[in-house]
């Protein structure tokens, strides 16, 4: 069978790699590793494209958002497909499908970014409290986290939106809430792991105050995994936004394009006009994939063991 | 830990016809990787030859990166097949193990040749009991039913002086101390009465006091069973107490070979000399500085065209940086050096 | 071991209590009057008064909570505002369907995922590995409902290989003593009914199981790759053990530890995914019913079902923790 020993197991000396020069900081080394990872580059490109499309939508889309000029062309048995003037055809309500898809990126981007940022902020705060302020704080915070985790995240988001009412704001809060426990656990784990690390003990013995140690030493070390998790969570957020829309809890202005809602509308016309569903569906897939690839690439790059 | 133990000084390897030696390694060379944009080839072992006869104890000495572990892995056929090129001959009772099939190697491992690895903490499977890990090596090579295997496992633990051997069989590795785990590894190696045991730094990961204990057990057990032993270590003290003959390795090559007494009395290679001199002695006058070997083993990759030790060698002459010295034999000793250390003759036979 | 289980159960209690408090607060917080929220906008005043009396909405909050908890413990989770049926009753009737679906999805995920992950992890960088990694990345990034719609379109509508919806063809004769359709068919020897039920399970189970499959493959792969580099695997090989033995006893047993943990988490994904999948396939399980209840603001059902799901999820995670203790002796000591 293939014996899996790596050369460094045998010789005890790491085999040379070009990026193992002395004096290269962790970030530089990580950057170099990322550059060489085709999947990570693909992910980064997708994310970049996604962001650009969302930001420059008005410039990229042939028609403005929500313009339903072709409503007359839509009949109960036929939704016009790709044709002159409409790259992908028209949607159920008579708007240009292609433009709607482009504008849909905005919703996903905004909601995704805001909710992930919110979840990160609150979750990280909880995690730091839990990990850094002693046993009592830890127990309380962790109980709260456990409660939040006892409901699958989508259903948690559903409950929150149901309570807060159907607006974009509540969707963002709901998805953020679903991410809080993940970040809380991550930061708590990081804090606990580093609490006994040599450099923390050293800093402590030098008389540094706890707050200083946390801010200038522990947090920067937690930055890497947190960024990775945030990127991966963005992928989940994008999918969850769509899922909430699918359940009819989407919120937001009906005139604004949103991929999940477009999927719902496409369902019963799927037979004759599959492009109605494929368009937004694939858009969701590619964006989520992009963030996932990027997140994975970051994780591999930041892994000090350099395991491929 | 000098003195005692070992066999006969004059019984070091001599050119017997290969078929007679238990283990005969000839010109072993191990290369990792390929030259490409992202990596360079690493020659971990080069031109390594030695013999081990039945019942003999050979010491392989060197710092990390010297290739001593890779050599033992090559003998056992445990190097990865991808990305590694092994050449030369490894003749075990006349059979070349390097060309043997994987199936044949499986029959040899654990039965004819057994290995004891360095780190007892990680070398045992954490989810299996000690008993299981002993019994499986017994049952794999012999037709014993599980009751007989278990009995044998208990006997093996007693052989390595494991306290409360019977109960230990049901324990898990994490319930044992480091020294006890290492004893289990020794017991595993002994299970099928191998003809050769290769011990790769078996005590390095242990506390100093436990080290002595475990080495004693190893010594005892090997003497009782008449098993040949290859002891891989960086600790000369271990070698002095246990081995008949010694090979000193530096950066993948054997730089000096000699029987035990002559090597310690009169080390010829500046590296060997440096190693011996760097060990603090109880009879050194107080206040005298320690004498380490200057520098550190350079990156394994940068093979200069001259002698690999030259950058750190106090005996360096011009020739050393031009061409790599060859291994020259003289009597029972071998030496790879242009300018060996001279010792004042003190009437010790070479 | 027993102490371990009891301790974990004890930990579950505060979580469930906290959850019930949250849900209690939740229904109070719904926009508008709770009674109106339950009955809908067009409720008459007398209906509202009745609800207020029955549910005690007009009493002090703390007292309400105790009434509420009392009801929960006696099995009264309220009635659906759509069809008036007790929530608990609907749940018990529909749960077996979801169990069948979730089990089928989990079986697909594990039976395909573990061997694939193992094969990929053994030869990282090989062609199988690259294929597996790509596939699993796609699987993770695909929204469940999109996949469900796709599968339904391709295999049911276009190719007509498999049924489009529901759990059973109405034309097949079937009696349902247990409401586990596949099992029922076997119990009553109506083999056709069983087979038909299985056919109806295929597409939804594939859709639902794809994401857990992708995750299990990735974790198994990473775990196997890591375990293979461990020293004890090297020891096992140096003992001359047969490859099958090394694979099974040394590599797999250790590699599967993180996989077992993840199965607990996957259940959460499966349960929430079931809501979406069941609605696409009109599969009669708690998911589909919950979906309708959400869109129609049937709050007693939503509240009750989410509480049940949380309970199930916690129990599954407990079971996973316990079995982890069985597999990994290091954990038992604590």
Tell whether B104 lies on the interface with C, counting CB pairs under 8 A: no
Q: Tell me the shortest Cα–Cα distance from C155 to chain A, in angstroms.
A: 12
C-alpha to C-alpha distances, B328 to B11, B336, C237, nearest whole angstrom = 19, 6, 37
Q: So what's the pLDDT on residue B7?
A: 41
Considering the domain boundaries, does residue C113 fall inside one?
Answer: yes
Torsions phi, psi of B85, nearest 5? -115, 125
Residue A82's region, left for phi above 0, alpha for psi from -120 to 50, else beta, is beta
Tell whether B3 lies on the interface with C, counting CB pairs under 8 A: no
Chain A interface with B: residues with Cβ < 8 Å: 1-7, 10-13, 15-18, 36
Q: For each of chain C's 334 residues, which pLDDT tens digit applies?
A: 677 778 778 877 877 788 777 777 776 666 555 566 566 666 677 777 776 666 666 667 777 777 777 777 777 777 777 777 888 888 888 888 899 899 999 999 999 999 999 999 888 878 888 888 888 888 888 888 888 888 888 887 777 777 777 777 777 777 777 778 777 777 777 777 888 888 888 889 999 999 999 999 989 998 998 898 899 999 999 999 999 999 888 998 888 888 888 888 888 888 888 888 888 888 888 888 888 887 777 777 887 888 888 888 888 888 888 888 777 887 765 4
In whole angstroms, what is the distance from residue B173 CA to residue B121 CA? 8
Helices A168-195 & A153-164 angle (0-180, nearest 10):
130
- Per the model's pLDDT, the better-predicted residue between A84 and B11 turns out to be A84
Confidence of residue B304 (pLDDT cuts 50, 70, 90): low
Show residues of chain C in contact with B128, CB under 8 Å. Answer: 249-250, 253
A16–B299 CB contact, under 8 Å? yes
- pLDDT(A4) > 60: no
| CATH for A45-68+85-306, options being 3.40.50.1980, 3.40.720.10, 3.40.50.12160, 1.10.3720.10 | 1.10.3720.10
A277–C146 CB contact, under 8 Å? yes
C239–B110 CB contact, under 8 Å? yes
A165–C269 CB contact, under 8 Å? no
- pLDDT(B349) > 70: no
C-alpha to C-alpha distances, C268 to A156, C192, C211, C320, nearest whole angstrom = 11, 32, 12, 13
In whole angstroms, what is the distance from residue C33 CA to residue C37 CA? 6
The DSSP letter of residue B66 is: S
- For residue C203, give both structure tokens: 């597409």
Question: Which of B38, B77, B125, B184 best probes binding to C when mutated, by most C CB atoms within 10 angstroms?
Answer: B125
Q: What's the ipTM?
A: 0.82
B174–C328 CB contact, under 8 Å? no
DSSP string for C250-286: IIIHHHHHHHHHHHHHHHHHHHHHHHHHHHHHT--SH
Show residues of chain B in contact with C332, CB under 8 Å. Answer: none
In whole angstroms, what is the distance from residue A287 CA to residue A307 CA? 26
Domain count, chain C: 1
> What does pLDDT average to over chain B?
84
Beta strand B228-233 with B196-200 is parallel
Parent domain of C138: 97-297
Question: Which of A3, A147, A250, A284 best probes binding to C when mutated, by most C CB atoms within 10 angstroms?
Answer: A147
Q: Tell me the shortest Cα–Cα distance from C30 to chain A, in angstroms.
A: 5
Q: To which residue do tokens 């030869």 refer?
A: C123
Show residues of chain C in contact with A308, CB under 8 Å. Answer: 124-125
- Interior/surface letters B183-211, b for 16+ CB within 10 angstroms, e for the rest: bbbbbbbbbbebbbbbbbbbbebbeeebb
**Among residues 39-78 of chain A, which lie with CB inside 8 Å of chain C?**
39
Neighbours of A113 (CB within 10 A): 17
Task: For residue range A138-172, list pLDDT tens digits in order.
Answer: 888 888 888 888 888 888 888 888 777 778 888 89
Show residues of chain B in contact with C249, CB under 8 Å. Answer: 125, 128, 136
Question: Which of C121, C139, C146 best probes binding to A when mutated, by most A CB atoms within 10 angstroms?
Answer: C146
C-alpha to C-alpha distances, C50 to A245, B152, C46, C56, C314, nearest whole angstrom = 35, 80, 6, 9, 35
Q: Tell me the shortest Cα–Cα distance from C74 to chain A, in angstroms.
A: 22
Q: Chains with ≥3 Cβ pairs under 8 A against B?
A: A, C
Q: Tell me the shortest Cα–Cα distance from C72 to chain B, in angstroms.
A: 43
C146–A154 CB contact, under 8 Å? no
Task: For residue range B168-213, list pLDDT tens digits in order.
Answer: 899 999 999 988 999 999 999 999 999 999 999 988 888 888 888 8
A10–B102 CB contact, under 8 Å? no
Task: For residue range A258-293, list pLDDT tens digits in order.
Answer: 888 888 888 777 777 777 888 888 999 999 999 999
Q: CB–CB of C275/C291 below 8 Å?
A: yes
Task: For residue range B6-40, list pLDDT tens digits in order.
Answer: 444 444 444 444 457 899 999 999 998 877 777 77
Which range (A235-249, B6-20, B288-302) has the least confidence? B6-20
Neighbours of B43 (CB within 10 A): 18
Q: How far is CA B135 from the centre of its chain?
A: 26
Q: So what's the pLDDT on residue C55?
A: 61
- pLDDT(A190) > 90: no
Show residues of chain C in contact with B124, CB under 8 Å. Answer: 232, 235
Confidence of residue B83 (pLDDT cuts 50, 70, 90): confident
Which of B108, B123, B172 lies closest to C240 in CB terms?
B108
Sheet with B57-61, edge to edge strand ranges: B113-116, B196-200, B228-233, B57-61, B245-250, B253-259, B333-335, B328-330
- pLDDT(A30) > 70: yes
Show residues of chain B in contact with A32, CB under 8 Å. Answer: none
For residue B284, the SS3 value is coil
**Among residues 183-242 of chain A, which lie with CB inside 8 Å of chain C?**
235, 239, 242
- CB neighbour class for A84 (10 Å; exposed up to 12, middle 13-18, buried from 19): exposed
- pLDDT(A6) > 70: no
C19–A235 CB contact, under 8 Å? no
In this prediction the pTM is 0.81
Taking one residue from A and the other from C, the number of pairs with CB-CB distance under 8 angstroms is: 133
Question: Which of A16, A17, A20, A32 best probes binding to B when mutated, by most B CB atoms within 10 angstroms?
Answer: A16
Considering the domain boundaries, does residue C290 fall inside one?
Answer: yes
> What does pLDDT average to over chain A?
79
Considering the domain boundaries, does residue C228 fall inside one?
Answer: yes
Q: CB–CB of C137/C213 below 8 Å?
A: no
- Beta strand residue intervals within chain B, DSSP E: 23-32, 42-52, 57-61, 84-92, 95-96, 113-116, 196-200, 228-233, 245-250, 253-259, 328-330, 333-335
Q: How far is CA C82 from the centre of its chain?
A: 25
C240–B78 CB contact, under 8 Å? no
- pLDDT(A104) > 70: yes
Q: Which CATH number is C199's domain given?
A: 1.10.3720.10
A163–C294 CB contact, under 8 Å? no
Angle at B77 between CA B72 and CA B79, to 5 degrees: 80
- pLDDT(A307) > 70: no
In whole angstroms, what is the distance from residue A55 CA to residue B91 CA? 70
Structural domains of chain B, with CATH: 22-243 (3.40.50.300), 255-280+298-350 (no CATH)
- For residue C159, give both structure tokens: 């190719």
A7–B33 CB contact, under 8 Å? yes
């Amino acid at each position: 069978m293939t014996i899996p020993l790596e050369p460094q197991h045998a010789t005890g000396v790491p085999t040379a790699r070009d990026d193992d020069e002395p004096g290269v900081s962790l970030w530089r080394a990580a950057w170099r590793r990322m550059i060489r990872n085709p999947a990570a580059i693909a992910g980064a490109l997708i994310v970049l494209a996604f962001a650009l499309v969302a930001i420059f939508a008005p410039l990229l889309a042939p028609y403005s958002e929500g313009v339903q000029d072709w409503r007359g062309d839509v009949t109960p048995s036929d939704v016009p497909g790709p044709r002159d003037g409409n790259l992908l055809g028209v949607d159920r309500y008579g708007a240009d499908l292609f433009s709607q898809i482009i504008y849909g990126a905005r919703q996903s981007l905004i909601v995704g970014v805001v909710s992930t940022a919110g979840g990160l902020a609150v979750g990280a705060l909880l995690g730091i409290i839990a990990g850094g302020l002693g046993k009592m704080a830890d127990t309380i915070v962790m109980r709260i986290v456990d409660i939040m985790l006892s409901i699958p995240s989508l259903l948690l988001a559903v409950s929150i939106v149901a309570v807060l009412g159907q607006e974009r704001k509540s969707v963002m809060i709901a998805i953020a809430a679903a991410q809080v426990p993940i970040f809380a656990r991550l930061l708590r784990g990081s804090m606990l792991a580093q609490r006994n690390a040599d450099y923390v003990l050293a800093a402590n013995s030098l008389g540094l105050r706890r707050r200083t140690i946390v801010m200038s030493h522990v947090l920067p070390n937690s930055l890497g995994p947190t960024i990775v998790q945030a990127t991966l969570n963005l992928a989940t957020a994008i999918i969850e936004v769509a899922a909430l829309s699918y359940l009819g809890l989407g919120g937001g202005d009906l005139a604004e394009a949103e991929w999940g809602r477009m999927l719902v509308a496409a369902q019963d016309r799927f037979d004759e006009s599959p492009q109605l569903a494929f368009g937004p569906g694939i858009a969701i897939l590619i964006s989520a994939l992009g963030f996932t690839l990027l997140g994975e690439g970051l994780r591999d790059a930041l892994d000090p063991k350099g395991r491929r | 830990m000098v003195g005692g133990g070992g066999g006969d000084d004059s019984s070091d390897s001599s050119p017997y016809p290969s078929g007679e030696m238990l283990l005969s390694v000839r010109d072993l060379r191990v290369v990792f990787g390929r030259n490409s944009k992202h990596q360079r080839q690493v020659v971990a072992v080069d031109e390594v030859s030695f013999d081990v006869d039945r019942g003999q104890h050979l010491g392989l000495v060197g710092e990390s990166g010297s290739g001593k572990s890779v050599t033992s892995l090559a003998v056992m056929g445990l190097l990865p097949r991808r990305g590694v090129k092994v050449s030369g001959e490894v003749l075990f009772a006349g059979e070349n193990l390097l060309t043997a099939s994987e199936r044949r190697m499986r029959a040899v491992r654990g039965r004819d040749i057994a290995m004891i690895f360095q780190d007892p903490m990680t070398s045992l499977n954490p989810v299996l009991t000690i008993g299981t890990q002993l019994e499986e090596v017994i049952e794999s090579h012999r037709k014993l039913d599980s009751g007989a295997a278990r009995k044998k496992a208990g006997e093996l633990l007693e052989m390595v002086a494991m306290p409360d051997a019977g109960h230990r069989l049901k324990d898990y590795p994490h319930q044992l101390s480091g020294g006890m785990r290492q004893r289990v590894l020794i017991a595993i190696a002994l299970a099928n009465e191998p003809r050769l045991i290769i011990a790769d730094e078996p005590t390095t990961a242990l506390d100093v006091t436990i080290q002595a204990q475990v080495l004693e057990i190893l010594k005892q057990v090997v003497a009782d069973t008449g098993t040949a032993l290859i002891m891989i270590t960086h600790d000369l003290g271990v070698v002095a107490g246990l081995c008949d003959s010694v090979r000193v390795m530096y950066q993948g090559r054997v730089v000096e070979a000699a029987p035990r007494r002559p090597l310690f009395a009169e080390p010829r290679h500046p590296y060997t000399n440096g190693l011996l001199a760097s060990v603090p002695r109880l009879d050194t006058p107080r206040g005298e500085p320690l004498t380490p070997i200057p520098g550190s083993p350079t990156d394994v990759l940068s093979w200069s065209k001259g002698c690999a030790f030259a950058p750190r060698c106090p005996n360096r002459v011009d020739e050393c940086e031009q061409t790599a010295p060859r291994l020259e034999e003289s009597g029972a000793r071998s030496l790879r050096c242009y300018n060996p250390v001279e010792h004042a003759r003190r009437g010790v036979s070479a | 071991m027993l102490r371990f289980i009891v301790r974990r159960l004890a930990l579950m209690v505060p979580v469930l209590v906290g959850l019930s408090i949250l849900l209690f607060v939740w229904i109070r917080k719904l926009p508008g009057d709770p009674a109106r929220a339950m009955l809908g906008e067009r409720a008459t005043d007398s209906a509202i008064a009745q609800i207020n009396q029955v549910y005690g909405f007009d009493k002090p909050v703390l007292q309400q909570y105790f009434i509420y908890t009392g009801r929960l413990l006696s099995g009264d989770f309220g009635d659906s505002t759509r069809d008036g049926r007790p929530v608990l009753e609907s749940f018990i009737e529909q749960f077996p369907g979801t169990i069948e679906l979730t089990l089928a999805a989990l079986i697909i995920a594990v039976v395909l995922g573990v061997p694939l992950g193992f094969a990929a992890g053994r030869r990282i960088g090989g062609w199988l590995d690259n294929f597996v990694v790509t596939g699993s990345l796609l699987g993770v990034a695909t929204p469940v409902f999109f996949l469900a719609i796709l599968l339904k379109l391709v295999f049911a509508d276009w190719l007509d290989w498999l049924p489009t919806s529901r759990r059973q063809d109405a034309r097949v004769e079937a009696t349902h003593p247990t409401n586990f359709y596949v099992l029922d068919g076997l119990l009553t020897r109506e083999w056709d009914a069983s087979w038909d039920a299985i056919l109806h399970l295929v597409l939804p189970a594939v859709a639902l199981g794809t994401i857990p499959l992708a995750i299990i493959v990735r974790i198994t792969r990473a775990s196997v790759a890591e375990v293979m580099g461990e020293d004890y695997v090297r020891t096992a090989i140096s003992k001359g053990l047969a490859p099958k033995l090394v694979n099974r006893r040394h590599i797999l047993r250790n590699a599967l530890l993180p996989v077992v943990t993840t199965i607990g988490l996957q259940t959460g994904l499966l349960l929430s995914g079931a809501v979406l999948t069941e609605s696409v396939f009109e599969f009669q399980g708690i998911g589909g019913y919950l979906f309708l209840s959400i869109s129609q603001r049937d709050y007693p059902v939503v509240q009750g079902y989410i509480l049940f799901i949380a309970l199930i999820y916690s129990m599954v995670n407990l079971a996973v923790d316990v079995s982890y203790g069985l597999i990994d002796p290091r954990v038992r000591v604590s």
